[in-house]
Amino acid sequence: MAATAEKFDRSTFQSELSTLCHSLDAPYSSKVTEQILGAFDEYLDDSYVWFRCTSKPADVVNFRLAFHGKRIDTTAILASAGWIGYDDELAKIVRSWSSHEDAEQWCDFDPSRGIAKNWIYFRDLQPIQEILCTHGLPAPAAARLQDLQAAGLEKVNFAAVDYANRSMNVYFLLPGGLTAERAAKYVGLAGSKPLSDEDIQIISDSTHPMQTFGVTIIPETGHIPRVAFYAPVKDAANFPALKNERMRKFFAEHPSRDPRKIHILSWSYGGGDSKTYMKGEASYAGYSEELSRDMFLRWIK
């Protein structure tokens, strides 16, 4: 019989998150974290919780609340808590995207400040034109449609808005592996220099049979500051190509209440050193390999 994931425990989570943040020299506020958990209290028992960290020194350690199987207007909750205005242009985009059938709103939080990001999970892949032609999206962002399609980016599995950076993200499900030609098309969108042969090989080896590729867009200008490749790995703390000590420490020390930890590595590239870094995500509570497999199988049906 497969092990079952533990339910979310509020006090344990706060204690373990505080410890993790302090270990990684990341900002943390017990007051803000308590406010976040209080605002979403009725959904915590059934939420899937993830941690997120970057290779940037002293950067925030986010946590994600994913409300799988539920259609919740999280923007209304966030507005009620005072973190955003309900009529914020990014919140309007979230509601427009999540009006698609079976779309769900999830949240990334900064435990020192509040809301960081709204995610939209699409149970069924969406054509990119549906995402970029959505009501309320500024024309400069919609104008990037041709560039994305020219790079072979067509099917969207996630979208997001970042309230702190005033940006939006579109994530594509792509065939696994990576060639120099494909890599050049993808990172060229963000003005990044070509990837090294070593980076191409590492990403290619890690992204079979499919991969997720993210594009960040500034809605008002259409500028693409960075792109990123995402890949699940079995044990990121001991992943041979992971050289960054902060990332290794994150994966080695993060707590998890799930029967098996799920790790995701991300390589981010842009037109400058500040845009080139690594990100990592790790499951904490409520998630399972079965859920991950079901999501994937629905996308490729």
How buried is residue 300: exposed, middle or buried, by Cβ count under 10 Å (0-12/13-18/19+)? exposed
Return mean pLDDT, the chain: 93
The 10s digit of each residue's pLDDT in 118-131 is 999 999 999 999 99
Integer Cα distance of 187 and 91 in angstroms? 28
pTM of this structure: 0.95
Confidence bin at 1 (pLDDT 50/70/90): very low
Integer Cα distance of 301 and 75 in angstroms? 31
What is the DSSP secondary structure assignment for residue 262, as one 8-state letter? -
Integer Cα distance of 161 and 129 in angstroms? 17
> Which of 85-89, 98-102, 290-294 has the least mean pLDDT?
290-294
Integer Cα distance of 138 and 118 in angstroms? 18
Integer Cα distance of 50 and 286 in angstroms? 9
Buried b (16+ CB within 10 A) or exposed e, 221-251: eebbbbbbbbbbbeebbebeebeeebbbebb
The 10s digit of each residue's pLDDT in 56-81 is 999 999 999 999 889 999 999 999 99
282: which strand partners? 51, 263
230: which strand partners? 212, 266
Share of the chain above pLDDT 70, in %: 97
Q: Tokens 């902060």: give the residue.
A: 246
Domain boundaries, the chain: 10-299
